Amino acid sequence: MKRNIYLNPLSFDDAQNCIDTEFRFKENHKTEIISVEDSLGRISSSPVIAKLSNPNHNAAAMDGISVKSASTHEADPRNPVKLSVDIDFKWVDTGDVLPDDMDAVIMMEDLSEAEQKSVVITSPAVPWQHVRPVGEDIVCSEMIIPSMHRIRPVDIGAMIGGGITAIEVIKKPVVGIIPSGTEIIETPDQMIPGAILDSNSRMFSAMVSEYGGTPLRYSPVKDDYKLLKEAVIKALEECDLVILGAGSSAGSEDFSKSIIEEIGTLLFHGIAIKPGKPAIFGKASEKPLICIPGYPVSAWIVFDRLVQPLIRAMSRVKAEPKLKRSGILTRPLVSSLKHLEYVRVKCGQVGENTIVTPLSRGAGITMSLVNADAIVEVPREYEGYPAGSEVPLYMLKPWEEISERLVSIGSHDLLMDIINEIMIRNGSSGLSSTHSGTMGGVMAVKRGECHIAPVHVLNPENGVYNTHLLKQYLADNEVVIVKGIKRVQGLIVAEHNPEKITSITDLAERGLSFVNRQRGAGTRILFDYLCGKRNIPADSIKGYGREMNTHMSVAQAVLSGTADAGMGVESAARSMGLDFIPIGEEDYDFILRTEVLDSEAGQTFLNVLCSEQFKLEVNRLGGYILDAPGKIIRKEEC
Amino acid sequence: MKRNIYLNPLSFDDAQNCIDTEFRFKENHKTEIISVEDSLGRISSSPVIAKLSNPNHNAAAMDGISVKSASTHEADPRNPVKLSVDIDFKWVDTGDVLPDDMDAVIMMEDLSEAEQKSVVITSPAVPWQHVRPVGEDIVCSEMIIPSMHRIRPVDIGAMIGGGITAIEVIKKPVVGIIPSGTEIIETPDQMIPGAILDSNSRMFSAMVSEYGGTPLRYSPVKDDYKLLKEAVIKALEECDLVILGAGSSAGSEDFSKSIIEEIGTLLFHGIAIKPGKPAIFGKASEKPLICIPGYPVSAWIVFDRLVQPLIRAMSRVKAEPKLKRSGILTRPLVSSLKHLEYVRVKCGQVGENTIVTPLSRGAGITMSLVNADAIVEVPREYEGYPAGSEVPLYMLKPWEEISERLVSIGSHDLLMDIINEIMIRNGSSGLSSTHSGTMGGVMAVKRGECHIAPVHVLNPENGVYNTHLLKQYLADNEVVIVKGIKRVQGLIVAEHNPEKITSITDLAERGLSFVNRQRGAGTRILFDYLCGKRNIPADSIKGYGREMNTHMSVAQAVLSGTADAGMGVESAARSMGLDFIPIGEEDYDFILRTEVLDSEAGQTFLNVLCSEQFKLEVNRLGGYILDAPGKIIRKEEC
């Protein structure tokens, strides 16, 4: 059985050098002639020279009279001169052509008497005063814009004004995109088990547009060598660069490699980057022919880092310069020595610090890229960075958006999406939520890594939720509790509860499979507490070690039949049409840094909690009880 | 005769407040449903919730075998376990659906023996290891993007992956643009004396597109009250905002105002800004109806400052955040107390300083906006800023482009455009040229305001050009002379020289009209020198006081018949088909700050001077002699 093993993947720099050497797009380019009116954002391929002067005639620059300056020389306050219409002067408005026999304009305001047929002036006119001369704006044969200039609206105005109607610009490179894989489907209505929606090729198309190219997306091709080869040959004829989107099967990648070898030259297979390792770069008909791995994050990274420069070299559309920013890691970031690793992170501005929290690193987690604010690169031969390190950031979202958000780290609840949405609708920048469980949130507040921590943990000593956290863990911090909602926790089970589960005891006694939350999650702490109360050894429960990060993922595991039950909130069960066995109510509250109360974002947050809109949305979700949301409890009251 | 006089124009802030109060676009918006594939750059109007989980099945995350984890518990290096295909395991490739009866995957690399029908393992499989669970990436009913989010390629990928095909987005506002004025023509072939090409409406269209709107440009309407009113009523029906582009006649503005008053409400007429004062804002059918002045720079300013926020409030497309930059004024900037003034400036990075040089301030000079790098705002009630002031800059071009350019201040020659163009074609950022005449350039070098100064001035003592400047004016500066070209100076006269001019003496004796260059221009110094040698009092020459800033403008004045002759270079005469009477050769050289010689841009500049390409282009222009371009003369050799 032949398998591709990347014993010696190329380093990123070597890969880039290889591409630069093979394809010298920076040195030559295709051009096309288009209408000036359609040229916004395009790149001029040669200097644009005015064909007409603008204005194309001498014109009055003021409302008033046009005169022969020679006939005004004598005028003086002590010697007013009377001028007669048509003989000595003609009336003109701003913009009027200067009559051929006149060489100056006197402003309305400077006439000491003004009748329709005669005027009196008391000072002479200097030749060409208040005259807008031919070519004052643009002189015929003057250069309007140089070559390699990205055309702006004002350039379009100047070109039209200079008599130019058509312009030679850099031709947009046509980038062919061929999705491959028998499992690939184009629309959700074709969904069957094992099918994968063709999302990468749509993402590539949008990326090509952003880089100044024209995407040409083909229909997905099955894992059939002959069909795929035909598709590639056709695309090479029609496009300037061809992307093969590999399917998720190993066979798909093998085919792509063989096709590149058969109809062109394989440049390299495998790059020492993560995600993105299995990329294949080749050359056919002097064009780049690139096979991009199927996992969405790998696909994005390879496209962004290695395909983008190729397309931009052809389109000449420069990337918006990225600001160089850095931030402080809130957690250690461990990386392999073997790869240059791209880690997706969330960022936030907490006090003086830009804080950086790594997200999931799976190559398949598109949402880690959607939710990421930036990427941290861990170079090859680095073991990673310890917590507290300052790391450079490659920003994925505008800094303005990031810096004004409330940073929330802690327990997960659907509620956080609702609060975020209402904040945004009210014109705020919203929340940046990272789900680390209650204790993760408490520690993040303690270390100054977030503004706000959603928490839900029982004080077994008095049966009260959350308030004990302030004195127990945050004695030295300026923090308050803001009351949130009460929520019902319970067991999420399949629709109609086929296993007739009624309690945690059932799980242990009947060997049913469970799906757990991650360590530090309040729900897990509650589960452990309940097990303890019932004297059930937690590890006697099948699946106790299978961890999910959110209520929704737990519900999903139950929905897909891989677990009989999971612990979570009613809203998660409801949203997937699952059954729910209530076990108890708990308080889901927020720890806030005191200073946040005074900030604009903090005020918006509090307002949202007290709003009718919030009440409405929460009631729609179900499983929540609104008691006194937004109520502030200070440490001394705990 | 009724004239509009703006006695009390609104302040900019009052104008903005008035607009904000009248049109509350920030609080409501129109939406439309479009295909996710077409949604790049659009703004979501509500949160997007996943309809399908992704992946939609449990899948192998590695190539290898799928197993029942329970059947592997015994495996150990000392107790290898043999598994049989189809009974204990099934072969799987990455991405394959996990068979229903299996709950874990063992990697190919971890099999100690692997035959097609049986394998041997030496360690147990943990349940769900190497399995990509349903919803690992996107969980059905999870929020993919919130509302008011600008859609990026990765968002498109995630939405498609989550089973979303259509999305509700903010509808692009339709902005109607009605050019008006009887003198307005649409294409250069309609040009007659007094006609004006309709460039503003095309500039507005491009601006609307940039702000996230859909421009709808109508055909120009003559200065006819009824026609204009009909056009406005039609546009108000079809658009969300209507722009009336005023013609250059005063009547056009009067019509617009009356129409606004007749069919809607006049909000204000006149703003205390310069350029841009005569803008008229009104409201009709609850929509903004705005009359924009006809001068291109005024038009741009009013559109950028007051119309842009309205369109962006409707489109919800945020502006790219502008970097806050400042720079040092090289010249005093005098402004009127009455207006907030927008002054176009050129910028450059010279040594440690960002230097700022004001450009022409005429409202009609589109090229001052095309060539500007930034705008300096001089607030109302400010008299301006002295030279050396640090002023805030509103950037119009990317800083990367500006900071890498060679800053040239000094004498003007067409050559400078050629050098710039060749530098750009060779991948450099090129030249930023400001024309201030030779002496202006020398002073700019002295004050450290430019890298390079093109100069041409004779030392009357020894008949040698330029080299004396180093010791005479730049004794304390580290500078060199770089030799440029020899050029022929002479009189530019009309085609076929109808006045039979042969010398400067003809001008004085026969009272012919002349057009001069600005003070400090080498050409003017040469003219004065020649007059002196011939004992002609300069001011006896008619038109001596009429000043132009470039050779091209001089040629243009001759071409348009407003002057019989002007002094300039042969290339300018040739480019307009004029006759030329040579008077003498002169050296057009460059003063360079010594440090520039070592910079990359400086090296490119020198290489261009010595290149074949340069020689070719210069010879094509004509009137130049290439002797030793690029030769460096140090101060000690002068």
At B405-444, the pLDDT tens digits run 999 999 988 889 899 999 988 888 889 988 888 999 999 9
The CA-based diameter of chain B, rounded to the nearest angstrom, is: 119
Least Cα separation, residue B60 to chain A (angstroms): 10
Nearest CA in chain A to B130: A362
Q: Which among A26, A147, A193 has CB closest to B424?
A: A147
Q: What is the mean pLDDT of residues A396-424?
A: 90
Q: Which among B144, B156, B365 has CB closest to A202?
A: B156
> Residue A103 in contact with residue B562, Cβ under 8 Å?
yes
The model's confidence at residue A5, banded by pLDDT at 50, 70 and 90, is very low
Q: CA A105, CA A89: separation in Å to the nearest integer?
A: 9
Q: Is B141 on the interface with A (CB under 8 A)?
A: yes
Q: Determine the pLDDT at residue B526.
A: 86
Q: Which among A249, A366, A398 has CB closest to B96?
A: A249
Q: CA B420, CA B482: separation in Å to the nearest integer?
A: 16
Q: Is B408 on the interface with A (CB under 8 A)?
A: no
Q: Which residues of B touch A152 (CB under 8 A)?
A: 206
Q: Is B207 on the interface with A (CB under 8 A)?
A: yes
Do A194 and B545 make contact, defined as CB atoms within 8 angstroms? no
Structure tokens at A426: 């009210």
The model's confidence at residue B250, banded by pLDDT at 50, 70 and 90, is low
Q: Determine the pLDDT at residue A3.
A: 40
The residues pairing with A241 across neighbouring beta strands, listed in sequence order, are A175
At B15-37, the pLDDT tens digits run 999 999 999 887 778 999 999 99
Residues 319-348 of A with CB under 8 A from B: 320-321
Nearest CA in chain A to B133: A557
The pair phi, psi for residue B300, each rounded to 5°, is -65, -45
Please name the residue that has the structure tokens 């096709």.
Answer: A259
Model confidence, pTM: 0.88
At A121-150, the pLDDT tens digits run 999 898 888 998 888 889 888 899 999 999
Q: Which among B160, B198, B425 has CB closest to A199?
A: B160
Residue of B44, B139, B513 to mutate, interface with A, max A Cβ within 10 Å: B139
Do B142 and A183 make contact, defined as CB atoms within 8 angstroms? no
Q: CA A593, CA B417: separation in Å to the nearest integer?
A: 59
Q: CA A246, CA B542: separation in Å to the nearest integer?
A: 78
First to last CA, chain B: 66
Q: What is the mean pLDDT of residues B253-280?
A: 92
Q: Is A528 on the interface with B (CB under 8 A)?
A: no
Q: Which among A132, A188, A552 has CB closest to B52?
A: A188
**Average pLDDT along chain A:** 91
Q: Determine the pLDDT at residue A152.
A: 97
Q: Which residues of A touch B38 (CB under 8 A)?
A: none
Highest average pLDDT, of A245-249, A580-584, A619-623, comes from A580-584
Nearest CA in chain A to B194: A97
Q: Which residues of B touch A425 (CB under 8 A)?
A: 147-148
- Pairing mode of beta strands B431-435, B406-410: parallel
Least Cα separation, residue A397 to chain B (angstroms): 10
Residue of A28, A367, A400, A553 to mutate, interface with B, max B Cβ within 10 Å: A367
Structure tokens at B312: 């962006």
Chains A, B: CB contacts within 8 A come to 322
At A172-230, the pLDDT tens digits run 999 999 999 888 999 999 999 889 999 999 999 999 999 999 999 999 999 899 999 99
Residue B6 pLDDT > 60, yes or no?
no
Do A147 and B206 make contact, defined as CB atoms within 8 angstroms? no
Residues 96-115 of A with CB under 8 A from B: 96-97, 103, 108, 114
Q: Which residues of B touch A557 (CB under 8 A)?
A: 133-134
Residue B1 pLDDT > 60, yes or no?
no
Q: Determine the pLDDT at residue A249.
A: 60
* DSSP assignment string, A271-326: BSEETTTT-EEEEETTEEEEEE-SSHHHHHHHIIIIIHHHHHHHH--PPPPPPPEE
Q: Determine the pLDDT at residue B248.
A: 60
Q: What is the mean pLDDT of residues B40-57?
A: 93
The model's confidence at residue B553, banded by pLDDT at 50, 70 and 90, is confident
The letter for the amino acid at A353 is N
Q: Which among B188, B249, B546 has CB closest to A128?
A: B546
Q: Which residues of B touch A181 (CB under 8 A)?
A: 95
Q: CA B46, CA B315: separation in Å to the nearest integer?
A: 14
Q: Which residues of B touch A427 (CB under 8 A)?
A: 26
Residues 582-621 of A with CB under 8 A from B: none
Mapped onto helix, strand or coil, the DSSP state of residue A195 is: coil
Least Cα separation, residue A159 to chain B (angstroms): 8
Q: Which residues of A touch B61 (CB under 8 A)?
A: 364
Do B146 and A421 make contact, defined as CB atoms within 8 angstroms? yes
Q: Which among B134, B158, B362 has CB closest to A560?
A: B134
At B611-635, the pLDDT tens digits run 999 999 999 888 899 988 999 999 8
Q: CA A430, CA A421: separation in Å to the nearest integer?
A: 7
Q: CA A615, CA B327: separation in Å to the nearest integer?
A: 52
Least Cα separation, residue A318 to chain B (angstroms): 10
Residues 432-471 of B with CB under 8 A from A: none
CA distances (Å), origin B497, targets A140, A615, B578: 21, 87, 8
Least Cα separation, residue A102 to chain B (angstroms): 10
Q: Is A209 on the interface with B (CB under 8 A)?
A: yes
Q: Determine the pLDDT at residue A248.
A: 60
Percent of chain B with pLDDT over 70: 98
At A302-340, the pLDDT tens digits run 999 999 999 999 999 998 877 789 999 988 999 988 899
Do B206 and A152 make contact, defined as CB atoms within 8 angstroms? yes
Burial of B526 (C-beta count, 10 Å sphere; 0-12/13-18/19+): buried
Residue A292 pLDDT > 80, yes or no?
yes
Least Cα separation, residue A192 to chain B (angstroms): 9
Q: Is A557 on the interface with B (CB under 8 A)?
A: yes
Q: Which among A183, A202, A546 has CB closest to B127?
A: A546
Q: Is A489 on the interface with B (CB under 8 A)?
A: no
Q: Tell me the CB-side half-sphere exposure of residue B233, using CA atoms within 13 A.
A: 10
First to last CA, chain A: 66
Q: Which residues of A touch B56 (CB under 8 A)?
A: 191, 193, 195
At A600-628, the pLDDT tens digits run 999 999 999 999 999 999 998 888 999 88
Do A95 and B126 make contact, defined as CB atoms within 8 angstroms? no
Nearest CA in chain A to B1: A116
Percent of chain B with pLDDT over 90: 63
> Residue B108 in contact with residue B114, Cβ under 8 Å?
yes
Q: CA A264, CA A267: separation in Å to the nearest integer?
A: 9
Q: Is A575 on the interface with B (CB under 8 A)?
A: yes
Q: Is B166 on the interface with A (CB under 8 A)?
A: no
At A84-115, the pLDDT tens digits run 999 999 999 888 899 988 989 999 989 988 88
In the DSSP assignment, the letter for residue A122 is S
Q: Which among A161, A203, A248 has CB closest to B154?
A: A203
Q: CA B25, CA B507: separation in Å to the nearest integer?
A: 64
Q: What is the mean pLDDT of residues B580-584?
A: 91
Highest average pLDDT, of A159-173, A523-537, B333-347, comes from A159-173
Q: What is the mean pLDDT of residues B540-560?
A: 88
Structure tokens at A313: 């070299």
